[in-house]
Amino acid sequence: MTRHLLEVDDLTPAELVRVLALARRPDPPAVLAGRGVGLVFEKPSTRTRHSTELAVVQLGGHPVSSQAAEVGLDTRESAEDVARTLACYHAAIGARVYEHAKVERMAAAVDVPVVNLLSEDSHPLQALADLLTVEDALGRLAGVRLAYVGDFNNVARSLGLAAAMTGMEVAFGCPAGFGPAPADLDRMAFALEGAPPGAAGEGVAVTHRPADAVEGADVVYTDVWASMGHEAEAEQRRRSFEGFTVDDGLVRLASRDAIVLHDLPAHRGEEITASVLDSHRSRVWLQAANRMSAARGALLFLLGEGR
């Protein structure tokens, strides 16, 4: 049966652990030798394009990237027909889109794996890279206390699911109106049920006070306040997120050896200060590097390696 990765919980907790292990293989098999992977970028990208293209190359394949103007999802051609066309040539498809429904429709139309490279709802490969980074820095996932400060966006949603599935404790510090919806909390609670036995700790918490979220945390994570496509709301969001900047004072409330993560690009002086982003606690460049490992592990799994 063809498997797709549209959100982290398309995997079981055991499969998620397997993907992380595949991502760490120093000598990945050339499962894409002589084959291609079609990559569609409705949204522009730096880290996603470079990391995914190189992951395909490391697996012996040839990546072919198409930009929004070349493809015209649902304008020049339907998302389903784009996927069907790419499936004629490629072993897998990756798509970075605005509406999450587009990757769902693409996956439903083809019998090759489809990977969500980002949608407005989720960012699963980023969450895989985040888990790899936490494990690199702290040596474990289960029992780690993670604080996410800022907007509960696509990155936060996938991160929350991935953290719950691996037995991490998660606290979201978000302004009123910008936190997880009840459906998101229900989904994370369901993911938490599959976490390693005895490792789930206190589960998922939500607060409107960033200090409460960060107190004693092992990982402090933030993201931009206005995600791509919401730039028109930037000024209003700056007012709404006043007091939610991850600065030195906030980070001092975390554990002594806490690390700081940001999926990038960062707006220094808004959601995070330069002194924190560029500090010894920051692991943002390791996090960016792990995007390639995450893509490699996901492709290996979806193409049948170790399943």
- Give tens-digit pLDDT for 244-293: 999 999 999 999 999 999 999 999 999 999 999 999 999 999 999 999 99
180 and 282 both lie in a single domain = yes
Q: What pLDDT does residue 306 have?
A: 61
115 and 155 both lie in a single domain = no
92 and 161 both lie in a single domain = no
Integer-rounded Cα radius of gyration of the chain: 19
Q: Which tokens hold the place of 225?
A: 């306040």
Q: Is the pLDDT of residue 201 over 60?
A: no
86 and 201 both lie in a single domain = no
Whichever domain contains 208, its CATH number is 3.40.50.1370
Q: Is the pLDDT of residue 199 over 60?
A: no
Total domains in the fold of the chain: 2
Confidence of residue 305 (pLDDT cuts 50, 70, 90): confident
Give dist(CA 297, CA 259) in Å, integer.
Answer: 24
Q: Count the neighbouring beta carbons within 10 Å of the beta carbon of residue 114.
A: 28
Contacts of 289 (CB under 8 A, 6+ apart): none
Q: What pLDDT does residue 307 have?
A: 61
Q: Count the neighbouring beta carbons within 10 Å of the beta carbon of residue 215.
A: 17
153 and 116 both lie in a single domain = no
Q: Is 81 helix (H, G, I), strand (E, B) or coil?
A: helix
Q: Would residue 299 count as lying in a domain?
A: no
Give dist(CA 124, CA 107) in Å, integer.
Answer: 15
Q: Is the pLDDT of residue 43 over 90?
A: yes
Q: Would residue 64 count as lying in a domain?
A: yes
Q: Would residue 178 count as lying in a domain?
A: yes
Q: pLDDT per residue over 202-245, tens digit each? A: 689 999 999 999 999 999 999 999 877 677 888 899 999 999 99
39 and 68 both lie in a single domain = yes
Mean pLDDT of the chain: 95
Contacts of 169 (CB under 8 A, 6+ apart): 143, 144, 145, 146, 163, 200, 201, 202, 203, 204, 205
Q: What pLDDT does residue 249 have?
A: 98
Asked whether 8 and 301 are in contact (CB, 8 A), the reply is no
Confidence of residue 196 (pLDDT cuts 50, 70, 90): low
Q: What pLDDT does residue 200 have?
A: 46
Q: What pLDDT does residue 233 have?
A: 84
Q: What pLDDT does residue 40 have?
A: 98
Q: What pLDDT does residue 180 have?
A: 97
Q: Is the pLDDT of residue 92 over 60?
A: yes
Query: What is the share, in percent, of the chain residues with pLDDT greater than 70?
Result: 96
Q: Would residue 301 count as lying in a domain?
A: no
Give dist(CA 163, CA 10) in Å, integer.
Answer: 14
104 and 148 both lie in a single domain = no
90 and 191 both lie in a single domain = no
Q: What pLDDT does residue 232 have?
A: 80
Q: What pLDDT does residue 194 have?
A: 73
132 and 276 both lie in a single domain = yes
Amino acid identity, position 54: L
108 and 190 both lie in a single domain = no
88 and 222 both lie in a single domain = no
Domain holding 145, by residue range, is 124-287
Q: What pLDDT does residue 202 have?
A: 64
132 and 272 both lie in a single domain = yes
Contacts of 146 (CB under 8 A, 6+ apart): 134, 159, 163, 168, 169, 170, 171, 217, 218, 219, 221
Q: Would residue 307 count as lying in a domain?
A: no
Q: pLDDT per residue over 131-171, tens digit each? A: 999 999 999 999 999 999 999 999 999 999 999 999 999 99
Q: Would residue 262 count as lying in a domain?
A: yes
Q: Residue 207 carries which DSSP code?
A: E
Q: Would residue 86 count as lying in a domain?
A: yes
Q: What pLDDT does residue 192 have?
A: 82
Q: What pLDDT does residue 85 have?
A: 98
Burial of 41 by CB count in 10 Å (0-12 exposed, 13-18 middle, 19+ buried)?
buried
